[in-house]
Amino acid sequence: MALPRVYKTTDKQREYQRKHYLANIEKYREYKQAQMRARRANPEINEKIKVQTRKWYKSSGRDKRQKEYLRQMRENQFMKWRVKLFNQHYGTKYTEKDFQILWDKQNGECYFTGQKLDNTANIDHIIPVKRGGTHELSNLRWTTKQVNFMKRDMLDEEFLNVVKAIMERLMVDFPKS
């Protein structure tokens, strides 16, 4: 049998407190944020907060729900999923429409191979970020996952020279009969 809950305040007092809280919600939020900043400024307390948060996240099953949500998004809403990943990784604020325009410009085909793209397609930087490229839409294009992986930090000319060298080598080793 559950014991009755003992309150130190009456219903009338609790109602007043709720109204006061709602009337001053911004002050309460600022106060709570200041308290959290102060706690997180202390490295020991900050580490405890992180451990506690991770533990709660896993025990509540939210990690599994998040993985399932992303899996379903990848399968059913590819463009939304790809934009979400790109924005999180690079700190940009593109929309599905921006990426769809790029997709339509290329007719849904890989820039290099001309293959029809599917939900494994990747966004490639024309001028790689490590070479001074930006995340602007004018520096992006769709490629297959394999091509993007092979190209890595190469410029187009360097990449095409590598592919050409591979093809020449294959023609020497395996000439057409």
> Which residue from 81, 116, 110 is spatially nearest to 96, judged by alpha carbons?
81
Q: Nearest 5°: CA angle at 32, between 13 and 10?
A: 10
Q: In terms of Cα–Cα distance, which of 139, 86, 144 is closest to 119? A: 144
Q: What is residue 2's predicted lDDT score, i.e. its pLDDT?
A: 66
E runs forming strands in the chain: 122-125, 140-143
Under 8 Å between Cβ of 123 and 142: yes
For 137-143, what is the mean pLDDT?
97
Mean pLDDT of the chain: 92
**Which has more confidence, 146 or 9?**
146
Asked if residue 141 and residue 99 are part of one domain, the reply reads yes
φ, ψ for residue 19 (rounded to 5)? -60, -45
The predicted structure's pLDDT at residue 10: 83
CA distance 82 to 80: 6
Average pLDDT of span 104-122? 96
Residues 102, 40, single domain; the answer is: no
Tell me whether residue 3 is in a domain. no
Residues 159 and 101 in one domain: yes
* 97 within a domain of the structure (yes/no): yes
Q: Look up the domain containing 56 and give its range.
A: 12-60
Same domain, 88 and 160: yes
Q: Let me know whether 52 and 136 are in one domain.
A: no
Greater model confidence, 171 or 140:
140
**Inter-helix orientation angle 43-59/62-76, to 10°:** 70
